[in-house]
Structure 1
Amino acid sequence: MIGPFFVECSEHFPNLVFVKIDVDEADELAADCGVSAMPTFQVFDPAKGDELESCKVEELVGASKDKLKELCGKYN
């Protein structure tokens, strides 16, 4: 299960901010972020712009622990 691993990553990579969104309760936000599958992990860089789409720098779709850890390591 990827949920507990997501929490582990948030503890292991302290330089990143981890946010979990319930797409059923925040469907407009999910649409604004372009989320079309679950789970979706997105990396944003606020220095890239003011809009969500313009500051999104990378996205990972799927529950691969190895790929999520690699993504976190890349931006930590």
Structure 2
Amino acid sequence: MIGPFFVECSEHFPNLVFVKIDVDEADELAADCGVSAMPTFQVFDPAKGDELESCKVEELVGASKDKLKELCAKYN
């Protein structure tokens, strides 16, 4: 399961903010972010803009621990 690894990443990469969203409870937010599959991990940079789509810099779809770790390391 990727959930516990997501928590580990949040502890290992202190310069990133990790947020978990339940797409069933926040379906409008999921749609605004373009989430179409689970799990989806997205990286946002607020300096890029005020809208979700304009400040999204990268997205990872799937439960690959190695790819998630690489993504976190890239932006930490």
User: Aligned to 1:57, what secondary structure does the other structure show?
Assistant: strand
The offset of 1:70, in angstroms, is 0.1
The answer to whether 1:32 aligns with 2:29 is: no
Where in structure 1 do 4 or more consecutive aligned residues deviate above 2 Å?
none
Following superposition, the deviation at residue 38 of structure 1 comes to 0.1
Partners of 2:69 and 2:30 lie apart in 1 by 22
Cα-to-partner distance string for 1:32-53 (whole Å, 9 max, x where unaligned): 0000000000000000000000
Q: 3-state SS of the aligned residue for 1:67? A: helix
Is 1:8 paired with 2:28? no
RMSD: 0.1
Q: Percent identity?
A: 99
Specify the alignment match of 2:63 in structure 1: 63
Count of residues in correspondence between the two structures: 76
Q: TM-score, normalised by structure 1?
A: 1.00
Where 1:59 maps in the other structure, the secondary structure is strand
User: For each residue in 1:9-35, what CA deviation from the matched residue of structure 2 results, as whole angstroms up to 9, or x when unmatched?
Assistant: 000000000000000000000000000
TM-score (normalizing by structure 2): 1.00
Gaps spanning 5+ residues in structure 1: where? Answer: none
